[in-house]
């Protein structure tokens, strides 16, 4: 691929110069690029039929200089990549206008002072990836329908279709989505850095491969049903490992939930050769100290990242915390990936939703039909995590972004990122969040007066209360 950068005036394009320094050229060469100047390409096709000034029209006489970044593959026609106002590059004065020499049509090279080289390089470092992505070649998949940036990802498109039709009821954010998301965590967290080789393989599919062992761990109570469903589908497929399948199912399931981020999916995890050790999955009755220590040992997760991962509880329900009320959700909007769980866990608990009162790992809830985990309650009120918890309230985009980043980290525990292939493009784009859920609210009958303030540095946000009778939450129906 060839790269060029030009400072030019839209009215005097011929006076532009090419950025050309030994350092920047060496950096580009290491990435497979070489620099070249506009004068090496006399044909107007260099700009694909469009001149630089048409790509970056003159808007102000006082700011009429632009920096054009353009490139092409050695075996393809040239492509314009980026044109930005020169005054916004932060390198004003670094480039000097080329001056004509005594030879007809010949131009001298521009000058970059050593002091400005770093800024030029920083500019290219920021832009080179964006432009490269813009011209990435795609390959046609054998199904004749899809294309992919990596042919190895083609096998996954039909698997996504199978997951949507056979597991997720045609693309619903329902019980199987909740359970599949839970399984991504229970499989991946099965690793301990402190135990070395005996600490488990992380996201390696061990919970599917060694089902008889791992589903009998107390922390994995209730995972046997989704394990059996996923194993049944996996047995009909080829070209995907158990570890990949679990993470793919979780990402596809989440994509069915309005408001959710599009999760990253990397392919190439080898199958597990041993079961994960018992005790690697945190339990809802564990202390905050224990939970934070477990996440730190598994993958160096910070308290903020632990809270981000618990965004998953916005589309979650419990079947076995209180077995008398299966499908009991953690917030009042269990089919929407919104910030309500961070509001409602902060409300004062007044009741137990089931008939048998408290169960291990359960504390009082503020709403009929809603269950609250002890671990969520405690993390929302612990000084190390309370402000991170409260910070999610009414911050839909921040919550989604943090969850996406934390899940990307969780999904590759036990593996080197460099050994995996990015096939995120096979994950469907989630639907947008409904307008009614874009902002947090108090369920009907509750208000700021019911909040148990825990963040010492800022008050809980003021939110509207929904109209109507006191809220009662319906259970998530079985598939």
List of residues 6+ apart from 201 with CB closer than 8 A? 190, 191, 272, 273, 274, 276, 414
Beta strand 317-318 pairing with 266-267: unpaired
Tell me how far apart the terminal alpha carbons of the chain are, to the nearest angstrom. 51
Which neighbouring-strand residues pair with 85? Answer: 66
Q: Distance between CA atoms of 190 and 415, rounded to whole angstroms?
A: 12
Which candidate in 46, 146, 186, 377 is catalytic?
186
Q: Distance between CA atoms of 250 and 253, rounded to whole angstroms?
A: 5
Q: How many CB atoms are located within 10 Å of the residue 305 CB?
A: 21
Any catalytic annotation for residue 186?
A: yes
Contact present, 80 and 68 (Cβ < 8 Å)? yes
Catalytic residue numbers? 186
């Amino acid at each position: 691929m060839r790269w060029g950068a030009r400072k030019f005036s839209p009215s005097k394009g011929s006076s532009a110069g090419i950025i050309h320094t030994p350092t920047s050229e060496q950096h580009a060469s290491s990435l497979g690029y070489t620099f070249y100047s506009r004068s090496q390409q006399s044909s107007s096709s260099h700009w694909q039929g469009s001149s630089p000034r048409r790509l970056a029209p003159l808007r102000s006489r006082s700011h009429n200089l632009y920096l054009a970044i353009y490139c092409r593959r050695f075996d393809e026609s040239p492509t314009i990549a980026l044109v930005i106002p020169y005054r916004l590059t932060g390198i004003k004065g670094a480039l000097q206008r080329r001056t004509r020499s005594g030879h007809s049509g010949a131009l001298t090279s521009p000058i970059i002072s050593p002091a400005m080289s770093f800024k030029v390089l920083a500019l290219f470092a920021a832009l080179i990836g964006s432009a490269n992505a813009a011209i990435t070649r795609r390959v046609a998949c054998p199904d004749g329908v899809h294309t992919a940036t990596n042919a190895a990802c083609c096998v996954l498109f039909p698997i996504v279709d199978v997951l949507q039709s056979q597991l997720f009821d045609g693309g619903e954010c329902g019980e199987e989505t909740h359970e599949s998301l839970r399984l991504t965590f229970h499989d991946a967290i099965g690793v301990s850095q402190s135990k070395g080789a005996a600490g488990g393989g992380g996201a390696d599919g061990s919970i599917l491969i060694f089902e008889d062992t791992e589903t009998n761990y107390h922390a994995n109570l209730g995972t046997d049903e989704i394990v059996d469903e996923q194993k049944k589908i996996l047995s009909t497929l080829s070209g995907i490992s158990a570890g990949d399948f679990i993470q793919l199912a979780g990402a596809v399931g989440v994509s069915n939930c309005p408001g959710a981020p599009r999760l990253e999916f990397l392919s190439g995890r080898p199958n597990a050769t041993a079961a994960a050790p018992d005790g690697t999955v945190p339990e809802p009755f564990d202390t905050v100290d224990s939970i934070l220590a477990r996440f730190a040992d598994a993958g160096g997760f910070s308290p903020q990242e632990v809270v981000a991962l618990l965004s998953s509880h916005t589309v979650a329900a419990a079947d076995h915390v209180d077995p008398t009320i299966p499908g009991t959700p953690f917030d009042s909007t269990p089919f929407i990936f919104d910030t309500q769980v961070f509001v409602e866990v902060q409300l004062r608990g007044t009741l137990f939703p089931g008939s048998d009162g408290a169960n291990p790992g359960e504390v009082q809830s503020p709403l009929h039909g809603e269950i609250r985990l002890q671990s969520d309650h405690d993390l929302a009120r612990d000084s190390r995590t309370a402000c991170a918890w409260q910070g999610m309230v009414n911050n839909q985009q921040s919550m989604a972004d943090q969850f996406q980043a934390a899940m990307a980290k969780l999904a590759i525990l036990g593996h080197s990122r460099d050994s995996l292939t990015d096939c995120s493009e096979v994950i469907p784009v989630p639907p947008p969040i409904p307008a009614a859920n874009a902002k947090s609210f108090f369920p009907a009958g509750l208000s700021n007066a019911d909040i148990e303030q825990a963040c010492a540095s800022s008050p809980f946000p003021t939110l509207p209360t929904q109209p109507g009778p006191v809220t009662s939450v319906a259970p998530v129906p079985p598939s």
